[in-house]
Chain A
Amino acid sequence: MLTRTEPLTPKERRVDHVLVADMVKNGARVLDVGCGDGELLNLLAETRGVDGRGIEISQAGVNRCVAKGLAVIQGDADIDLANYPDDAFDYVILSQTLQATRRPRYVLEQMLRIGRHAVVSFPNFGHWKIRLKLLFRGRMPVTDNLPESWYETPNIHFCTIRDFVELAREIDVKMERAVALNARGWPVRWLAPWWLWNLFGQQAVFLLSRKK
């Protein structure tokens, strides 16, 4: 069921973006939910020739995207995905945004309604560093990857890799590919059970698709 990818990281590009791009077929119709400054959309357009669209919640992000010529609307994943018709896209991407949504399960279901595939990347709250911080300090972990304190972070729904796998099973979707990245940004390469991924993966990228 799972394949693991070799690293293919030009230094100037974010490794998770490159991994996401690797999961998208050439020329596909793509919606990037929470597209920020449009960095990933640009990468997808350049390397995959996709027909890309974006949704971004911040005005500043949207304006920068539009000024770059990207087709991006200001919107909220929790609200605006409902306005897209079924099967509007080949891929719907949620890059580092799942943990900031109010209803992650609903968002995931919407993604797989409007797109045939969903690509989701998120920070893994089960990483050993985070576990250690919580265990020894007894306080919500603040790391280089997740630098905000609990009271100001937009990330309201953290999950671990195992939590995500469980959710994917619950809503009955097919996991086509999964990659966990360690703290150095390299894929966790060896064939390993989920619990090991969950311990050493700092972030994860999943390619999901509908079962039928």
Chain B
Amino acid sequence: MSVVRVDLEAPENRAKAIRREADEPRSQLVKFGPDKPLRLDAGVDLSPFQIAYMTYGELNARKSNAILVCHALSGDQYVASEHPVTKKPGWGETLIGPGKPIDTNRYFVICSNVLGGCMGTTGPASRDPKTGEPYGLSLPVVTIRDMVRAQAMLLDHLGINTLLCVTGGSMGGMQALQWAVSYPERAFAVLPLATAARHSAQNIAFHEVGRQAVMADPEWRNGRYLVEGRNPSRGLAVARMAAHITYLSDAALHRKFGRQLQDRQALTFGFDADFQVESYLRHQGSSFVDRFDANSYLYITRAMDYFDLAGEHGGVLANAFKGTRSRFCVVSFTSDWLFPTSDARQIVHALNASGASVSFAEIETDKGHDAFLLDEPELFAITRGFLESAARSRGL
């Protein structure tokens, strides 16, 4: 792959760089041709399509040390390495790396960009080979199950039959649970963090606010902004700002910002960002649009909204896990109000009812939903212990 040397500080260059990633990612890439279509829940085949992924560590000879890490809504495959556009460290580097709880000296870690994403796996920003233009809204709506189907095809490509563990937080946790249901014999251990077996009405409502913000931006152009050379960055930034609030707790926001003013001594009696928390949110919004595609945001939030594991099994979640031989460790965080502990308990009760081996820990923290991405020693100890015991059972 050619090395791109551009001034990434310039917004137009960043926009170009992120556009390029959608079709020609700097990570590893596998293309599935017409002989290997992806059958979507929407009832159509997606073909051809591609998956962008990163791997860390070495796959052992028995191919028994693979861990699939599934990313969340705004994540990507760069879990333990620098993001090619923002140059920021990987989103999971606290947890994953040499000597870390998910130890890449010992395990082979795979992380792929989700279906519908914008970092190289086929999504609305990818070029539709039939038209030569980005898909935009002509891409069928995808589901969490579709994402997992695509990941299973990636594993087939890598020659890996059984994962030692599949893990992820938030939407990544949904994928991990879906793995346990769709491919129970391929997931030896399942470690879902800060997640739920179905998206709640409140969470669907928050997502709808985000989507409406994107679609209300005149630059969105009914989803054709890429073709028309526009960018609904205001709408996407507002969506991200609203969502970001849901990732934090009241206590964490207060500790970080309180009512402190931003670079000023007094209120301005205007609508500029008087408060630090406003300035922080505006920054979160504007830095997000630099690296994310607005239509991808619509598709991925929709996939989460549609997620309902019990729904596929007559409304009884325990039936989804019937006969499972995987071992589970479910983790929630006390101050997470987006995926509260009650959601985790629902999963645990269903797993108990189906006789599965399950651990469950609720971790005390005031960091809110985002705690699964942060430096949480309790989470590290649990992850390490759970993987250790799985590895022992698999003779690693």
Which B residues lie at the A interface, using CB under 8 A?
327, 329, 348-349, 352-353, 355, 357-364, 378, 381-382, 384-386, 388-390, 392
Contacts and interface: CB of A to CB of B under 8 A. Distances in A.
A84 B382 contact: no
Main secondary structure on A side of the interface with B: mixed
A67 interface: yes
29 contacts: A53-B357, A59-B362, A62-B361, A62-B362, A63-B361, A63-B381, A63-B382, A66-B359, A66-B381, A66-B382, A66-B386, A67-B381, A67-B382, A67-B384, A69-B388, A69-B390, A69-B392, A70-B359, A70-B389, A71-B358, A72-B360, A73-B348, A73-B358, A74-B361, A75-B360, A83-B349, A84-B352, A85-B353, A88-B355
B385 A74 contact: no
Contact of B329 (A53, A66, A75): A66
Contacts of A157: none
Interface in A77-128: 80, 83-85, 88
A203 to B, nearest CB: 29
Main secondary structure on B side of the interface with A: helix
B206 to A, nearest CB: 27
Residue from A68, A73, A75 whose CB has the most chain B CB atoms within 10 Å: A73
A194 to B, nearest CB: 36
Contact of B353 (A51, A68, A71, A83): A83
A59 B364 contact: yes
Contacts of A67: 381-382, 384-386
A65 interface: yes
Contact of B359 (A71, A83, A84, A88): A71
Contact of B385 (A66, A83, A88): A66
Nearest to A88: B355
B76 to A, nearest CB: 29
Given A53-B357, A73-B358, 5 more contacts: A59-B363, A62-B361, A65-B359, A67-B382, A75-B360
Contacts of A51: 357
A66 B392 CA distance: 14
